[in-house]
Structure 1
Amino acid sequence: MKLKKYLFCLLGIMITLQSCYKDSIIEAKAAFELKYVQENYSIPVQIHLLDKSEGAENWEWSFEGAIPSSSHKKNPGTITYETPGEYTISLTVTNKDGGKDTYTETIRIYDAIKIDFSAQIINNQANYPPVQVELQNNTEGIGFTYLWEFEGGMPSISTEKIPPVVIFSTPGEHKITLTVDNGNKKERSSKIITVADNISSLFHWEVSLFDNDYQAPVRLQLKNQSKNATAYLWTFEGATPSVSTEKEPAVVYQNPGTYTIKLETDNGSSQSVSEQTITIYKDTNLRLFKNIKLGIHSAHTQNTQGAFFSTVMQRSYTAQEVNETNSNQIDLVFFGLSPAFTYNKFVSPDKVSSEGFPTLPNAQPTIFVNSQELCNCGTLLSPEQFEGMSDDHLLQSLTPQENPAGLQRFGNTTPRVILFQTQDGRKGAIKINQMVNQGEESFIICDIKVQKTAK
């Protein structure tokens, strides 16, 4: 009876011990936390690992594609990926109670973006529109998508790795932008293509003072104002030469008429044409200067209104404007004594010192008939005849003769005609229309007609 009771108690103890043993077994639970160093997901990528397992006594890490590829440390620290792709990180934990668990996480490593592209103009070297641009994409990497943007280009966008030739037709700066996307982030890079201005055909011409009345013959010096042209073709109707490929040729028109000047320009990419007309007039051998102001002595010396005039240079000169270079071109000198205009005369440039002007260097003589009514030289020209002159025929028939009577001063009666003949034989007439009293700045207003060349 006692033995039976003992066995019963032993069985109870064993059951109790077994129940306690089951309650003390520790299960293993695998877990970890990962962090991308500097939030960088593109190679090279570093990932820091921190164990978060429970009940683990042993750790077995597997790092697919990483350096290192495995570890048995609880916290293996930082691992590195140098090749893009999808990889698994796996942790298996165990303990002495036989607990075991595995946790796996898949990560994606992206390729680094280093944009490298070139843009080359392929149709011309001077960037004349239309400009054709060839693109080369030297960006290396896998898993990328591309977006090209061509500001002002045709096409305007492309998603190909290497886009087709792009055409820019508008002058100015155009931005080419390449955006590369690796699935995680985007990088952009831009280049500028400069398109030159459009070709334009434009010109004008210049003539000498002698030809500025456009009476035949007339020599033109062409001035080319075209833009972005490399070749020129001129056509001159009625001129010699009639064609030219020079940039700025000179031509001569021998006969009166209205003619067309045509300029065609080319730059290898485009062409442009412009035309102008020119009218050449009949040769009258007569030059007209209207409303010329010539100052009295005080106005000239005070440099408010010149008393010297050059029919060659076609302008008047004050005292301070006269120099050794232009003094031999002066052929008319007016001397007015006072604003009352009671004492007036035209003086030969080589005799100006007799009227109180400084001597002119290299002065040339001019014959004057100040008083036709006193000259008694058979040479007469009325104001009406002066106005009626449309060519030099009347002047050809005159023979101005200088004598003391004809050189006499004249008063303030207008209109008055003064005759002259220059040192080179050109004959002319001055018609005084008005005498303006402005004190020391007084002046006369006159018209001048003179032969272009002596006949």
Structure 2
Amino acid sequence: MNKIIYILISLVLLEGCAKEEIVPVVVDFEYEVFNEDFSIPVQIVFFNRTEGGEDYEWSFEGGVPSRSVSRNPGVIQYDAKGVYKIELTASNQDGSRDTKVIEIQIDDPVVIDFEITNLVDNFSPATYAIQNNSSGADTFSWTFEGGAPATSLVKDPGKVTFTEPGEHKITLEISNGREMYNLQKTVTVAPFLVSDFEHTVAFEDDDYQVPARIQFKNTSISATEYQWDFEGASILTSTEENPEVIFTQEGKHSIILTTFNGKETKVVRKEIEFFRNTNLREIKDIKLGINTAHSSNTRGSFYSIIDRKVYTNQEVTPEIEQRIDLVFFGLSSAFSRNRFVSPHKISETTFDVFQNPKSTIFINSQELCGCTASLSVSQYDMMQDDVLLNSLTIQETSGGLQDFDNTMQPRIVLFQTQEGKKGAIKIKDFVDDGQNSYILVDIKIQKESR
């Protein structure tokens, strides 16, 4: 009996061990959108979190690919706007089965852009038309820094006006309900109109004696048109931006510049004083070196009347040679032998000979000249025009060409250029500086020969 009971119990235990427990399937999955960008094209990767599953079937409505039987299907791409179902069904050998369905919204691509068009010009008040070229957005928010209006929530805000000069930022922010984009551009309003000008007198007219040539430089701000009015000039009006004008009448003359830009008009008036033409030019404090100073290029011995410049040995070129009028030759710092020499007689000095020299007549020593030409220091100082110079007959004589020393200060040396202009050199000082010694002179010369 006991044996039979034992057998029955054993059979029951064996039957219980042979029966397996059924494993249920619980479907779950997650996804991640690349760059969180739901605007087409959209790429999504899915992560299968299902428990108990062995076989899987994915369905991607509107996706590429549209189906998959892999546990993890990889990347699915969506190329059209819409709301799509994603369905995952999982099963196992126990016959357990589960399904999960979700919906995902795919948006049109969001493009943000706008154009700014100046309607007339950028002078204040400046009006601009705003054209919105954005797409894929549902809401719009505009900010116009310093503009009227200052803000707008409509897609196309139309015209905006800016009155203050300077840079103004225009900002557009758009959204499709899930993503937000912004773009900023800048407009520049020109400064308020200012009328102003400068002038430069021609080098040869820098004493402002008439006729005097003046170059005007317009320094106005935000001007597009110009109206000039001149007193005492060869022309009375001009619409040029930077006119050149010759003034022919002495006295104080008004120059009026009126500027326009289509929105404003501004006027500026200035005066320039012009003087009687004395036909006399005075040049002061010229330093002419002795021969050693010239040769070492410390102080030049050559002088050009037209350039009003002293040239050293190294500065002389074939072109400059033709512009040299005066050559000073000082033998030493003792100033015992000095003379002015015509450029065409430079061979009489230690300087290099010119190839195309000018010819100038000199009277170095009036006291030895034996000629009618004579000019005292007081006469030189009192000269206000060229009348006295013009009356002189300047001729070279052997006595007049004699060297002079430094015993007479000041000394007057007379000369006449190749062009016939008569002049006088006033030697004010003999400056001992060793090999760099020099004389300090003033010159009065006719502007034009007559």
TM-score (norm 2): 0.75
Q: How much does 1:195 deviate?
A: 4.8
The question of 1:398 aligning with 2:357 is answered: no
Q: How much does 1:380 deviate?
A: 2.3
Distance 1:211 1:229 in 2: 30
Show structure 2 runs of 5+ residues with no match: 1-25, 51-60, 64-70, 87-99
The letter for the 2-side match of 1:419 is: L
Higher mean C-alpha displacement, 171-180 vs 310-319: 171-180
What does 1:315-334 align with in structure 2 at a 5 Å threshold? 315-334=309-328
The question of 1:118 aligning with 2:129 is answered: no
2:271 to 268, 277, 288: 277
The question of 1:305 aligning with 2:299 is answered: yes
8 Å CA contact 1:364, 1:423 repeated in 2:
yes
Distance 2:200 2:37 in 1: 71
The question of 1:344 aligning with 2:330 is answered: no
CA deviations over 1:345-387 (Å, ceiling 9, x no partner): 1111211111222222322222211111222223322212211
3-state SS of 2:33 partner: helix
The question of 1:423 aligning with 2:418 is answered: yes
8 Å CA contact 1:218, 1:253 repeated in 2:
yes
1:449 to 439, 444, 448: 444
Q: How much does 1:310 deviate?
A: 1.7
Distance 1:256-1:43 versus aligned 2 partners, 3 A rule: closer
The letter for the 1-side match of 2:271 is: T
Equivalences, count:
405
Distance 1:321 1:453 in 2: 27
1:314 to 291, 308, 311: 308
Residue 233 of structure 2 corresponds to 239
Distance 1:79 1:349 in 2: 94
CA deviations over 1:33-65 (Å, ceiling 9, x no partner): 78665296956688989999xxxxxxxxxxxx9
Q: How much does 1:322 deviate?
A: 2.0
The question of 1:161 aligning with 2:155 is answered: yes
Residue 56 of structure 1 corresponds to none
CA deviations over 1:244-289 (Å, ceiling 9, x no partner): 1123322211111112223333344555544432111111111001
Distance 2:193 2:207 in 1: 33
Residue 4 of structure 1 corresponds to none
Distance 1:182 1:118 in 2: 17
Residue 388 of structure 1 corresponds to 382
3-state SS of 1:329 partner: coil
Residue 27 of structure 1 corresponds to none
1:216 to 210, 235, 243: 210
The question of 1:134 aligning with 2:129 is answered: yes
Q: How much does 1:423 deviate?
A: 1.9
8 Å CA contact 1:115, 1:188 repeated in 2:
no
Q: How much does 1:313 deviate?
A: 1.7
Aligned-residue CA RMSD in angstroms?
A: 4.2
Show structure 1 runs of 5+ residues with no match: 1-30, 53-64, 68-74, 90-102
Residue 428 of structure 2 corresponds to 433
Specify the structure having the higher radius of gyration (Cα).
1
8 Å CA contact 1:331, 1:349 repeated in 2:
yes
CA deviations over 1:100-153 (Å, ceiling 9, x no partner): xxx999x8958556134422323236x5554322112243457x3321123444
8 Å CA contact 1:134, 1:164 repeated in 2:
yes
Q: How much does 1:339 deviate?
A: 0.3
What does 1:352-367 align with in structure 2 at a 5 Å threshold? 352-367=346-361
1:185 to 179, 184, 198: 179
The letter for the 2-side match of 1:332 is: L
Higher mean C-alpha displacement, 179-188 vs 37-46: 37-46
Q: How much does 1:228 deviate?
A: 5.2
Distance 1:120-1:434 versus aligned 2 partners, 3 A rule: same
1:258 to 252, 255, 260: 252
Distance 1:419-1:42 versus aligned 2 partners, 3 A rule: same
The letter for the 1-side match of 2:328 is: F
Distance 1:373-1:182 versus aligned 2 partners, 3 A rule: same
Percent of aligned pairs sharing the same letter: 43
Distance 1:185-1:357 versus aligned 2 partners, 3 A rule: same
Distance 2:33 2:359 in 1: 98
Distance 1:108-1:310 versus aligned 2 partners, 3 A rule: same
What does 1:90-105 align with in structure 2 at a 5 Å threshold? none
